[in-house]
Amino acid sequence: MLIAVGMIAFALVVLWQTQVIPVSPLYSKVGPTVAPTLTWMGMLALGLGLLAAAFRGGWQSEDEKETPVDMLALAYVGAGLLANIVLITFAGFTIASVAMFVLVARGFGSRRTLRDAGIALALALTAYFGFAGLLGINIGGGLIENAISSALGFAKV
């Protein structure tokens, strides 16, 4: 049942995309809309096909149907991702990564939060300074990074 609902939603997304696409102005006979037009026509047909298949009882394997989605685990991982987005711009890469790491690990059933945080801190700092040093890529510094940099006498990365 859930699958059918999901598929109807998907068909609606396809429909919504068809609404968005023709906005681009037509330029010439072979303008920028030709290929997208072909694509949305295809998408619509496919969406209807999926809907039909869903009504006929879906297609998932038995194993997949029997395994319920672990919502708690998903919520933890999702929270980790969200924390990363929120924190990375102002708190910096390391803090954001540690927060994400700990939340994701918890989602996978880890109960040793302190150990996870320690590993995350080591991993994030190694990655940060490794990338900054070797490739000159700045992953987004923040409080911790700049503190360490200045403590070690580096210029601000």
> Interface with another protein by CB under 8 A: which residues?
3, 6, 17, 20-21, 24-25, 27, 29-32, 34-36, 39, 42-43, 46-47, 49-50, 53, 59-61, 64, 67-70, 73-74, 76-78, 80-81, 84-85, 88-89, 93, 96-97, 100-102, 104-110, 116, 119-120, 123-124, 127, 131, 135-140
How far, in Å, CA of 157 to CA of 146, rounded? 8
Q: CA angle, 65 as apex, 64 and 69 as ends, to 5°?
A: 80
Residue placing its CB nearer to another protein in the complex, 108 or 147: 108
Helices 34-55 and 2-20 cross at an angle (nearest 10°) of 160
| Interior/surface letters 125-144, b for 16+ CB within 10 angstroms, e for the rest | beebbeebeeeeeebbbbeb
The residues near 72 (Cβ < 8 Å, ≥ 6 apart) are 107
Residue closer to another protein by CB (options 135, 153) is 135
Q: Which of 103, 71, 70 is nearest to 84 (CA)?
A: 103
Nearer to another protein, 93 or 144 (CB): 93
> In terms of CB distance, is 32 or 153 closer to another protein?
32
Closest contact distance (angstroms) between CB of 107 and another protein is: 5
Give least dist CB 56 to another protein, A.
12
